Structure 1
Amino acid sequence: MLLFRMVSYLLGHLVILVTGETPEKFVNMAASRGICLWDITRVKDGALLMKVRLSSVRALRHIARRTRCRFRICRRMGLPFYYSRLRRRKALVLGAVFFIGTLYLLSSFVWFIEVKGNERLSAAEILEAAAEAGLVRGAPKWRFDAAGVEAKIQEKFPIVSWAGVYVKGTRVTVEVNERVVPAEEDRRPAHVVAAKAGLVREILVVSGHPAVKEGDTVAPGQVLISGEIPPPEERPEPGEDNKQGRVPKKVQPFRYVHARGIVRARVWYEGYGEAEIVETGRRRTGNYETRVSMKFDGKEIILSGRQNIPFELYEVETVVKRIEAWRNLSSPVEIVTEKFFELEDYREDRGLEGARRLAGERALEAALKQLPKNAAIQERLVEELPAGKTENLARARAVIETVEDIGKEEFFNPTVK
């Protein structure tokens, strides 16, 4: 169907209105003679609206006389009719051609230049280097070489490790990647020490000398990866007698580096929790009243809210706002907002098992609060602690085992050895 409509548009077609006594007979006779009619719709007074190709209109005149019908052209559609209209409006055609040509010509120039990735270099410096290679606003896109602009930027700024020039339409994007210069602190000698106690599980040394091994127990502050690298020891040559207690000699001095690495260890966190078997006290019911008042010179004026609080038991939260002093002038006026929360007495009997369960949850929650973000929990253990027979309490202790990186940097001053 799509192909048929495209061919009809290229060859041209008409929308006609057929009127008469028997327009259906008109349609049947046209179909029997191989004339294609489509989009046939009935309109008022029995007339039919339909489409027919331009080449078949002449044959429809004979059919209309035979069936005593008339047809009238309502619309002319398709490429031949548009072409005929354009031939009569040459100025419009020339204007359209001129507009398209101008648009194409303008799109062949660079009008926008964007710089990305620069942090220490300014955009003006990069644009100046690009201009030396021919990349400026208004430059034809065929006149400058993207590879030449990239090479010029890298040649002029050694801090740039990579540069890329991308052309998209009239916009050119210059993207640079600056070299990472180590900070002064990154060049200072430093150890990796234990931030907390634990049992070393694995150690990965990026720079430095390992001071512990897997399975060692470490204490807070203990050196895990040393920034002090000892020199290699002189080994005796094959066949050389070393039985006389010869001491290996140091052939190189100590080297001092900024130690880096990952030391994962098993760490344990402990939490304590308790809960009353029978708990009594007061708690909020959820009802509250708000009162806003203004105080000045020892007097109080209620701006909103009740004067008498309707609750028998309540607690108050008060917020006081004062007008800020201006120069040497201060205002004695205070705006006081009071919230009165209703309280009720309660008594909750959890039973021994319920109190133990709640104490264990509280102990586990207390232990979880101590965990850092990068800790991977390996095991959780909750145990009951003994309580006195006369005590109305259940006690519990929770222990969580994690595996985490316990290393932290610690700078040191090298000593001559």
Structure 2
Amino acid sequence: MVLLRLFSFLLGHVSLVVRGEFLEKFVNLAASRGIYLWDITRLENDKVRVKVRISDVRPLRHIARATQSSFKVRERRGMPFMINRLKKRKLLAIGGIAFLITLYFLSSFVWFIGVTGNDKLSDEQIKKIAAQAGLRPGVAKWELEPKEIEKIIREQLPSVAWAGVYIKGTHVIIEIAERKLVQEEPHKGPAHLVAGKAGLIKEVLVLNGQAKVKEGETVLPGSILISGEILQEVKPEASNQPLPEGQEPSAPQYVSHFVQAKGIVRARVWYEGYGECRLAETVEKRTGQEKISFCIKFRGKEIIISGPKESPYQHYEVKKIVKSLPQWRNIGIPVEVTTVHYLEKVVSRLNHGLTGAKQIAEQKAMAEISAKLPKDAKIVERRLEVVDTGQHEDLVRVKAFVETIEDIGVIKPLKTHEEARD
């Protein structure tokens, strides 16, 4: 059936409306003479619509006379009719053929290059190396050697463990896998334990090193909490001879011993956050509905291929994606393809009231503080204050204050005297 319809399209077929009292006889007689009729549809008691090949229209006239019927051509379909129409519009036919040839010619080149799989390396870095290997916009696809491009990318970028180059139409996708770098080991040499933030010392537990602060002291960021330099007194050798009259004992001497300071220093730390919310506000939210429009821009003229010319929604958001063909052999191609997404929005008015606005402002203030808190921080006090500006406004302002107890120690490497001299 499919082959017969395809054959009918190539040779051409027409749609006929047959009128008469003996329509069944008309159809049967046509079938007995080898005339193929299809899509037979009864329109009225004395009228049917049928489709038949062009070559069978003339024999049907004799059958119509024999069955006292008549028919009229309502529709013409198929290749012969298309060719006849194109003969009348030669410029259109020439333009269509030229367009197809140009499209085929342009599809033989690479116009777009994409990169996937990269994390630390930028797309520009990878594209720059690929360009050195001959992969750049405007290059002919038959000139590309994917294996050679992959090899050059691996050689030029040591952090790339694997690379793959895939040609998909006018696009080339460069897929890479980066090497996983070994994380740096924690510092093992001499170091101080310093304050990572300001606070009031609550507890000091020294595991290694010498404490420099005690409970109740206030420290600033960078203050040494536990020193990695331990001073040991060097005692002079004992002598039984008394000191000469008027001579005082010599000042004690110390020797530095360097270690990596270790310990736990907990302190009281304060945080402050701010949040605000209006008593009533307009909120926009996407509905999930969208319309997409495709447009081609050539020499300043825009032609909409499909989709609406303007947004069909009252409230909407517009996202445009413009792609232009890159230069080919220093020849600019003034063609741009624009995809416009019209995203529907619903606009609503929310009246929070004084209580609701205050709750939202408090949540915002606490969220700002939560973003700063370390995981091991213990909250001991939380306080919220409404900010009164002394002016009448439909806005609630809230400040949040949080006190925590947390370990504020941070390792800071130090240089010994020998290293400093070197």
Q: TM-score range by the shorter chain?
A: 0.3 to 0.5
- TM-score, normalised relative to structure 1: 0.47
Q: Report which of the two structures shows the higher radius of gyration computed on alpha carbons.
A: 1
